[in-house]
Every structure is written in C-alpha cells, then in structure tokens.
Structure 1
Amino acid sequence: MMQQIIIGLIFIAAVIYLVRLVYRNFRSGSACETGCGKCGAVDFAKLEKQLKEKGL
C-alpha cells in the first residue's frame, strides 16, 4: 500500500511538472523552448535584414 502511495505522488509530481513546462512555453510568446526568459528569442526580421545586407 505504501509503495502505491509513493508511486502515485511521484506520478502526480511529474504531471504537474509537465503541465507547468507547457504552460510556461505557451505563456512566454517567444520562440524559446524553455520559457525561462534568459535567452533572447530568435528575431527573424533582424536575421533576414542581416542576410540581405550580406547579399545572401
């Protein structure tokens, strides 16, 4: 019985962790996969401008 409770708690914690990751990813609104906000998301407009300046 005790093992089932422990496994259940681990499972619930894993589900909560995954839901939190998905929620933060959609809430961030950026291209960053983690949603932590530490890295700058890819700015495609800036990248395209740089490529045009180089003639690529």
Structure 2
Amino acid sequence: MVQQIIILVLFVVAVAYIARMLYRTFSSKAEGCAKSCGACGGIDFKKIEQEMERRKQAALPKI
C-alpha cells in the first residue's frame, strides 16, 4: 500500500512538472524560450507578417 502511494505521488509530481513546462512554453509573453536563459532570441510574428505582406504587395503586377 505504501509503495502504491509513493508511486502515485511521483506520478502526480511528474505530470505537474510536464504541465508546468508546457504552460510556460505556450504562454510566455517575454522573448525567448521557456528556459529564460536569454540564449535564444524571440520570434517577432508581427514583423514576419509585415515582411510577407510587403513582399506580396511588391510581387503583384501593377495595373
């Protein structure tokens, strides 16, 4: 019985750890990844979208 409780506690802790990692990964408002070490730069989706729109407008034939 005690062994099952220990395993259950370890399982719950592992699930909570993974859930926390996923939450931090997908809800991060700061630049970079969830590790917060500053090694990787953030992806600016608005800048990418603006660049794609600019290229799309430049590629359209002028009538």
Quick check: TM above 0.5? yes
**Residue type at the aligned position of 2:16:** I
Relative distance call for 1:16 and 1:43 in structure 2 (3 A) is: closer
Structure 1 spans left out of the alignment, 5+ residues? 46-56
The TM-score with structure 1 as length reference comes to 0.60
Over aligned residues, Cα RMSD in angstroms? 2.2
Listed one character per residue, the Cα deviations across residues 15-44 of structure 1 (whole Å, up to 9, x for unaligned) are: 000000000000115552xx1322142557
Number of corresponding residues: 43
Structure 2 spans left out of the alignment, 5+ residues? 48-63
SS in 2 for 1:28: coil
State the alpha-carbon separation in 2 of the partners of residues 2 and 26 from structure 1: 36
The TM-score with structure 2 as length reference comes to 0.54
Q: Percent identity of the aligned residues?
A: 37
Q: Bigger radius of gyration, 1 or 2?
A: 2
